[in-house]
Chains A and B, each alone.
Chain A
Amino acid sequence: MTADWPSQIFEKFKEQNVRQVSYVPDAGHTKLINAIIADPDIHAVSLTSEEEGIALATGAWLGGDKSVLLMQSSGVGNCVNMLSLIKSCKIPFLTLVTMRGEWGEFNPWQVPMGSTTQASFEMMGVHVMRIDQPEDVQDVLAAAMRMVFEGGTPVAVLLSQRLIGAKVFEGAK
């Protein structure tokens, strides 16, 4: 382990030549979003709602760009109908989702969507992988990117609330 996990994710994006990264901000994605905004070779696309990111990923791939969507688990429900693009058009789609509503969540309103995040993706045909420990970030992301960009399988990687850590939320309060 040489770097923190957001930096490891960013390195993987660069290795794979990801050109568009869209996001609805989340405290857990702060460091990664800042790295993307600072990179002149990546379009950092701030969204007003997560479903725009599904449409953006479709357009990006039509035009030859690899892309990734960053969001929080509470945004997954916003994407359900738009995910028909991914299924109907077989778009190599990768999203990294920071989880809320599970490990030590203080806000009960996060729990309904957090507890149905995986099921929401699966019912729309998106394969779900999960990371609970920082030492697994590189391997899981490499596996996910291979499935997506070599195999064409849409994948959602859930970054567990335990991985992100309670500290982020203390700072973000």
Chain B
Amino acid sequence: MAEQELDRLDVVAQLLKDRGDSLVVTGLGSSTYDVSAQGDNHRNFYLWGAMGGAAAIGLGLALAQPDTPVIVITGDGEMLMGTGSMATIAKQAPGNLKVIVLDNGHYGETGMQEAHTNSVTDLTTMAKGAGIEQSSTIVDQAGVDRLVDSIKRLENAPTFAVIKVSAKSYLRADTVAKTIKDGAYNRARVRVALGVGIE
């Protein structure tokens, strides 16, 4: 019967537990808080705006740093706003790019309005149609385990994964307060961590 629903914070904790030197780009909203809640890291780039841009930022970073895993962690609403970038990613096909969508079927930041993904829209099918062959939907712990095993692997093509998570929302003023909002500082910090200069 129905397995227990996956919890977003727990899933992100597992994905990042052994991240090594992976770079992580987070999508506006809950995904930024989910990653930040695991502890700050100089290789994290947190988005507080630019909705729809997370995957394309990951692409630019993955092309610039081909030997380093680049993990984009974003939400279904953020991904829906940037679906064109699926095709752009498929065409470039960097094997170090992993786009992971935490799909709760709702717009969590704005009052839990229902998203298209809760009923009619399947982001995995869209990604496959765009040409990202390695696209899958994860609904259980076994699927999360498989993704954790492959997340740092440099492959021949990008990975796109939708993880269906519970619509439970967290009140987390502490995390919001302590997550870096200064984009220029965040950008400089990632560059220093990569040894490519400060500016």
Contacts and interface: CB of A to CB of B under 8 A. Distances in A.
Contacts of B51: 81
Contacts of A54: 50, 53
Interface string B74-101: 0000000010110110011000000000
A4 B59 CA distance: 32
B107 interface: no
A85 to B, nearest CB: 5
B64 A47 contact: no
Contacts of A65: 60, 63-64
B41 to A, nearest CB: 14
What is the interface of chain B mostly: helix, strand, loop, or mixed? helix
Contacts of A59: 25, 56-64
Interface residues of B, number: 38
B180 to A, nearest CB: 11
B107 to A, nearest CB: 17
B39 interface: no
A89 interface: yes
A67 B65 contact: no
A61 interface: yes
A84 B50 contact: yes
Interface string A26-52: 000000000000000001011111011
Q: How large is the interface on A (under 10, 10 to 19, 20 to 34, 35 or more residues)?
A: 20 to 34
A47 B60 contact: no
A64 interface: yes
A60 B84 contact: no
Contact of B57 (A20, A43, A62): A62
B143 interface: no
Interface of B: 23, 25, 45, 48-65, 82, 84-85, 87-88, 91-92, 183-184, 186-187, 190-191, 194, 196-197, 199
20 contacts: A43-B92, A45-B59, A48-B85, A49-B84, A52-B53, A55-B85, A56-B60, A58-B53, A59-B57, A59-B61, A59-B63, A62-B23, A62-B61, A63-B61, A63-B194, A64-B64, A81-B49, A81-B50, A82-B50, A82-B52
